[in-house]
DNA sequence: GAGTGGTCTAGACCACCAA
DNA sequence: TGGTGGTCTAGACCACTCA
């Protein structure tokens, strides 16, 4: 039996199931790290065959939103697990040394969105935002100067203490403290030179070349939730990119 | 009926089919741009069901090795098509202007692989290589200084004339002239400062910050076939990276 | 052994394209 | 109208995990 409804714009069933599952994720029915119902249970719930649910889950797994584990079940992806802790960090040591990243908190203040940030985060100009600055060090040496802006509405109560507690993994902290899970990010890279404030934080002379990484992170439903500018020293590290 | 053979290390049938299809691609049975047989034909040929062939093709399509077109057929991906012409170029104009890239040939000489290149390209130290230098300009302004090294054995007869004819798309030229199709690439990015030779080619002062993109490209079977170092001016352009 | 995801099949029907 | 890929189903069996 074909369950395809009369639809002006054709949409495969598995896509509709995918939307339903995503909605349950947004609604918090299944939280990060938890197991979702089995394929057969979902098939019964949505009144479709197991194969159709399977395809929907396949797509979500390909986007790293769900994690399949044979013999165990399907789980909501999380930034908490060790392996995925720094999933968006593409900077790796040239020598392949084990990373000993440390987080040095600099500041956390309340600000208002200017026109640039409002456009990126999809909030009104002047909307309340929270601005964090921090320094990531590698084996004691400064590596990245981070400047982070998030909408205050979604991160009520975010402060310096929470940033310090996060031990460097902001995403893990967003998840456990605010229930905001990032699923995707876009980065724009440039080569720039260190300006005064950054140069002193990184212990460099002004004019030193830095890799500028501007990142926008998205939560479920492709909603932008964080803007970030990282200025990175790439003497002993490089940014890895795989093209397919 | 399950066609799974007795195998010490379990390998799904569709994976085996994928290997068979890949071998036909390597062997040149179906050339870039051509249509491969329909799913049913391949299913008959390999004595499996259409669904199994489908899954194998799905995987190859996800890797951009094959291109599916509903109603028409499945085609071998190529770098010739306009849309995929500069598939590996992630540098885009900040303003979103239409790109008018031009290729300025600088040099093409015969060289020998040093230990670094030999390791990367998987050839012996001292093996014959061909070294190309060129300048890519955007609307007349220098943008990228490229330094390219390929193994001479796979590119017999590559010379300056062929590079000039390529109009900037080396991959398209590799494909039509040498039957070498790149399917994947890895890039390492760093921020550096312009050295003398590069600075003069790009019309900059020494010490100007540049984005250094070191790329290794792979052909079928993950065989490395090109090393490339691009030094890019990122005043009006940035490198886009999507993280999932 | 029970439960989960993973594979494979066979067949029906739909959407898209070209002649 | 015929051929291609795309969707959906139902059912069988395999591989993995854990109690």
Query: Which of A84-98, A207-221, B101-115 bottoms out in mean pLDDT, i.e. has the lowest?
Result: A84-98
What pLDDT, in 10s, does the model give residues B65-90? 999 999 999 999 998 765 556 789 99
Strand C close to A68 by CB, under 7 A: yes
CATH topology of domain A13-76: Arc Repressor Mutant, subunit A (1.10.10)
Share of residues in chain A with pLDDT > 90 (%): 77
Share of residues in chain A with pLDDT > 70 (%): 93
* Averaged pLDDT for residues B156-184: 91
Q: Tell if the CB–CB gap between B186 and A241 is shorter than 8 Å.
A: yes
For residue A3, pLDDT over 60 is answered with no
Place of tokens 């500069």: B86
Phi, psi of B162 (to 5 degrees): -65, -35
Cα(A105)–Cα(A163) distance, rounded to whole angstroms?
7
* Averaged pLDDT for residues B216-224: 94
For residue A8, pLDDT over 60 is answered with no
The CA–CA distances, whole Å, from A194 to A106, A145, A188, B193, B208 equal 18, 10, 17, 12, 12
Of residues A55 and A79, more confidently modeled:
A55
Phi, psi of A110 (to 5 degrees): -85, 135
- A201: nearest Cα among A174, A233, A229: A233
Q: Tell if the CB–CB gap between B239 and A188 is shorter than 8 Å.
A: yes
Three-class DSSP category at B21: helix
| Tally of CA atoms within 13 A in the half-sphere of B85 that contains its CB | 9
pLDDT bucket at A168, cuts 50 / 70 / 90: confident
Share of residues in chain B with pLDDT > 70 (%): 93
Cα(A70)–Cα(A56) distance, rounded to whole angstroms?
17
**Residue B223: its pLDDT value, please?**
94
Q: Tell if the CB–CB gap between B183 and A238 is shorter than 8 Å.
A: no
Pairing state of beta strands A182-193 and B237-243?
Answer: antiparallel
* Averaged pLDDT for residues A58-66: 94
Residue ranges covered by each domain of chain A: 13-76, 91-239
- What burial class does residue B158 get, using C-beta atoms within 10 Å of its C-beta: 0-12 exposed, 13-18 middle, 19+ buried? buried
> Which tokens in the block code for residue B17?
């089919």
Q: Which long-range contacts (CB under 8 A, 24 or more apart) does B63-67 make?
A: B63/A244, B63/B183, B63/B184, B64/A244, B64/B183, B65/B22, B65/B25, B65/B183, B65/B220, B66/B21, B66/B36
Q: Report pTM.
A: 0.89
**Residue A7: its pLDDT value, please?**
37
Share of residues in chain B with pLDDT > 90 (%): 76
Cα(A231)–Cα(A50) distance, rounded to whole angstroms?
47
Cα(A45)–Cα(A39) distance, rounded to whole angstroms?
10
Among B63, B192, B214, beta carbon nearest to A244: B63
**Residue B79: its pLDDT value, please?**
84
Using beta carbons and an 8 Å cutoff, which residues of A are at the interface with B? Answer: 63-64, 87-88, 90, 183-193, 207, 209-212, 214-215, 232, 234, 238-244
Cα torsion A109, A112, A116, A120: sign? positive
Residue in chain A nearest B212 by alpha carbon: A191
- B212: nearest Cα among B243, B239, B236, B182: B239
- What burial class does residue B187 get, using C-beta atoms within 10 Å of its C-beta: 0-12 exposed, 13-18 middle, 19+ buried? buried
- The C-alpha of A151 sits at a distance from chain B's nearest C-alpha, in angstroms, of 21
**Residue A166: its pLDDT value, please?**
85
For residue B189, pLDDT over 80 is answered with yes
- The C-alpha of B90 sits at a distance from chain A's nearest C-alpha, in angstroms, of 9
Domain B91-239, CATH 3.40.1410.10 — does that match?
Answer: yes
């Amino acid at each position: 039996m074909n369950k395809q409804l009369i639809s002006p714009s054709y949409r495969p069933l598995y896509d509709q199931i995918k939307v339903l599952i995503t909605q349950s994720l947004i609604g918090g029915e299944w939280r990060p790290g938890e197991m979702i119902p089995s394929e057969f249970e979902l098939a019964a719930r949505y009144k479709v065959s197991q194969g159709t649910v399977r395809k929907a889950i396949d797509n979500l797994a390909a986007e790293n939103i769900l994690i399949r584990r044979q013999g165990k079940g399907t789980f909501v992806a999380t930034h908490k697990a060790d392996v995925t802790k720094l999933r968006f960090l593409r900077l790796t040591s040239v020598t392949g040394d084990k990373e000993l990243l440390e987080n040095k908190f600099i500041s956390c203040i309340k600000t208002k969105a200017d026109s640039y940030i409002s456009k990126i985060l999809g909030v009104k100009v002047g909307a309340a935002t929270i601005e964090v600055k921090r320094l990531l060090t590698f084996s004691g040496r400064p590596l990245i100067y981070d400047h982070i802006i998030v909408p205050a509405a979604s991160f009520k109560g975010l402060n310096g203490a929470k940033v310090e507690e996060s031990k460097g993994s902001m995403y893990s902290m967003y998840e456990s403290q605010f229930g905001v899970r990032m699923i995707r990010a876009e980065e724009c890279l440039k080569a720039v030179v260190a300006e005064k404030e950054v140069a002193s934080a990184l212990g460099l002379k002004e004019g030193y070349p830095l890799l500028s990484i501007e990142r926008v992170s998205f939560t479920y439903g492709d909603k932008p939730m964080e803007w970030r500018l990282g200025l990175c020293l790439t003497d002993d590290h490089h940014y890895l990119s795989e093209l397919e």
